[in-house]
Chains A and B, each alone.
Chain A
Amino acid sequence: MATEVERKTDIGPPSYEQFLHPIIKENYGKWKYHNNLGPGVLEHVGETGSIFTVRVSSPRLVSTNFLNMIMDLADKYSDGYFRFTSRNNIEFLLANKDNIEPLKQEVEANGLLVGGTNNAISNIVHTQGWVHCHSAATDASGLVKSVMDELAEYFTSEKLPAKLRVAVACCLNMCGAVHASDIAILGVHRTPPKIDNQTLPNLCEIPTTVASCPNNAIRPTSIEGKTTVKVDEDKCMYCGNCYTVCPAMPLADPLNDGVSIWVGGKICNARSEPMFTKLAIPYLPNNPPRWPEVTSAVKKIVEIYADNAKPYERVGEWINRIGWPRFFDMSGIEFTKYHLDDFRHAGTTYRRSLHNRY
């Protein structure tokens, strides 16, 4: 059947073993401890030697030119071995400690930053935004660039009370899963879907579309003899789930789309249990290319946290200690009816004790 090279399928990813530095192979599972050698630089000490990690910023959306530049540096300084972290940082894995300084200098000469370790802001996990997504309420790459330009000093230093994880998602689908970050920047739609009754009957399956709505706001209806749907706009909370299953119900609305800010989530189990992020600012306008309202709001939260939290206290732990009323006082963020939950299990967020600070 095959005329040329046989077509391969289901071969799976290559084995990671061939990509491990010899020092890593020797000490695999035998690491004893690690040393922090300053922002962005770690030494992991194993039974037969050390591997030195230099962590570097990345926009995540990167070209082959960018990768070739990174790989030239890896060939020169880390025997061709490198990796990426779960937050999209680049990590060079060095056998030779003497290569750390020249690598750092060359990284910086190429417009990148070394940092993101320990009590720092690490790379912002983010989504595609207007670069590649159909449902984005805002851009992701531009927001991240604008926010990190303001916060770069917290990437290249370790002066925060604890690590600080920032994430961006450009709509409620949250491909960036921002619901457990210290600070989350979330694109929001604020108006119901605009139904295209001309194309909907051909594009969408009515029962699936009706069932997609968590608030039962979508009902079948008939227009000029064709079955389509209508939306009870009072019930719509602009989640966009209908648009995911039915392309004829877009939510994009340049006048009203924007950004919300969330705080206090965490993932790791250290000290306190994992926590969801909570709403801080319900809406800020989309103001490309620099989103000044968003960057100043995020910077202010970071600075108040940096000034007031105790060592090792994450944003959510700090707020739990001082209480939400104080957080709103200190940050100057207005508390509104939008902060009161009205979805499933909303009551679990109400104050059901007299444990308040006055």
Chain B
Amino acid sequence: MADDLNTPLLDELEKGPWPSFVKDIKSLAGKKEMAKDLLRQLEKSYEDKRGYWKHGGLVGVMGYGGGVIGRYSALPDEFPGVSHFHTLRVNQPSGWFYTTEALREITKIWDEHGSGLTNMHGSTGDLVLLGTRTEELEPTFRALTEKGWDLGGSGSDLRTPSCCVGPARCENACFDTLAINYNLTHQYQDELHRPMFNYKYKIKISGCPNDCTAAIARSDMGIIGIWKDDIQVDAKAMAEYVDSGMDIQGLVVENCPTGCIGMDGKEINIDNSNCVKCMHCINVLPKALSPGKERGAAITLGAKAPIVEGALFGSVIIPFMKIEEPFEEMHDLIERIWEFWDEHGTSRERIGEFIERVSLATFLEGIGEKPLPQMIKAPRDNPYVFYEEYFAEEGEGGK
């Protein structure tokens, strides 16, 4: 079918047990010139050990500043099928749940308007439609919105928020990750579609400290489930684990990071005042243990990859807050953060770099939050304190 391709290096990747993207793209080559030339250009990259895509390109759909990534081949004469190869980021449903009925509408639109290639999904969470021509962008957008789909973010805007499977299929979800993800995405459509921030702002939402969306590493703002009270114990299920001969001492007790678990026969004793909610015991004993009842989320800010000032994990800004509809407390927090960052951040400065530059103390003051010991690993170990209160001789005015 695709004999005229002449891609011997890529053909090598049709072999082996892992599913082959080459075989898959070839399945489109019969009907899509785009797929053919993509393979041909990729073969050339494999020969020459370099990419052949131009840098960016300002394309989009009317009225939006984000959601489309312009891409042009650097060798359009040689590979005309991919002279334009733009990407549309389609905002995924919360938790990446689909019905075949709904997704078939998208595959049909994409067969008609684009290359037929997708990423399920992009790193930020979007359903990525990979490769189309400039003149197809607006018709694709219209067809998508007709069926109830919209674009996600790109550039210096709110990036498409994403969340874990949450209460839809996980017993550890400490709040409704899907509902707040849906709410925030709809609440901030303008910020999502029209880049007006200093730089990108990613929100990731995980229902417990297992953090399946990698919020602590990959999001400017992480909303991560946590609880405050005691781990719930099902004594009968616990006794069954003991009776099964499982090495509870070795696998659970000795792996507790604060040593707050003890066994008394078939009974588990947890010193909850010293529990750091790491999830290990709950993960190993899912039938017997579950998060407490007083549930909410910790909010982290500032995670990012290395560019520019080095990689950062998010750090705790709000140690605990309730996450409940209609989520107004969260809207208020987000808007206070954006306002201060917008006012004082510099161009292409992520929120994590911004906080490091202005200091956490200044940032907290700026957003109207009080410093708390849960926000740090340890107090400062240097004496360079900017004292703001001091006494003055009478008549000279102190502060």
Contacts and interface: CB of A to CB of B under 8 A. Distances in A.
Nearest to A208: B347
Contacts of B283: 270
5 contacts: A5-B146, A13-B182, A62-B119, A172-B307, A208-B347
B111 interface: yes
A134 B54 contact: yes
B210 A82 contact: no
Nearest to B188: A12
A142 B13 contact: yes
A116 to B, nearest CB: 12
Interface in B16-34: 16-25, 27-28
Nearest to B28: A63
A353 interface: no
Contacts of A102: none
A173 B307 contact: yes
Contact of A212 (B111, B189, B284, B308): B308
A71 B104 contact: yes
A346 B286 CA distance: 40
B120 A12 contact: no
Give the bracket for the number of chain B residues in contact with chain A: 35 or more
Contacts, number: 341
Contact of A19 (B98, B165, B284): B98
A267 to B, nearest CB: 5
A75 B102 CA distance: 12
B27 to A, nearest CB: 5
Given A57-B18, A60-B120, A268-B210, A71 B54 contact: no
The 5 A-B residue pairs with the shortest CB-CB distance, nearest first, are: A149-B16, A174-B305, A247-B55, A29-B167, A148-B18
A60 B18 contact: no
A24 interface: yes
Nearest to B145: A8
Nearest to A215: B308
B140 interface: no
A19 B102 contact: yes
Contact of B255 (A146, A271, A343): A271
A240 B306 CA distance: 11
Given A113-B19, A173-B305, A252-B50, A14 B93 contact: yes
A99 interface: no
A10 B189 contact: yes
A282 interface: no
Interface of A: 5, 7-16, 18-20, 24, 28-29, 31-34, 44, 51, 53, 57-68, 71, 74-75, 80-86, 88, 90, 93, 111-113, 125, 127-136, 139, 141-142, 144-146, 148-149, 152, 155, 169, 172-177, 179-180, 208, 212, 214, 239-241, 243-245, 247, 250, 252-254, 257, 265, 267-272, 274, 276, 286, 288-290, 311-312, 343-345
B345 to A, nearest CB: 14
B17 A180 contact: no
B238 interface: no
Nearest to B111: A64
A343 B91 CA distance: 37
A132 B130 contact: yes
A114 B155 CA distance: 36
B317 interface: no
A63 B116 CA distance: 6
Given A145-B18, A247-B56, A270 B279 contact: yes
A289 B9 contact: yes
Given A63-B116, A64-B116, A83-B96, A241 B217 contact: no
Given A68-B104, A130-B51, A176-B123, 12 more contacts: A13-B91, A19-B93, A24-B169, A32-B287, A63-B118, A65-B27, A134-B56, A177-B305, A214-B308, A239-B307, A241-B307, A312-B284
Contact of B212 (A29, A57, A86, A132): A86
Nearest to A84: B96
Contacts of B313: 180, 274, 276
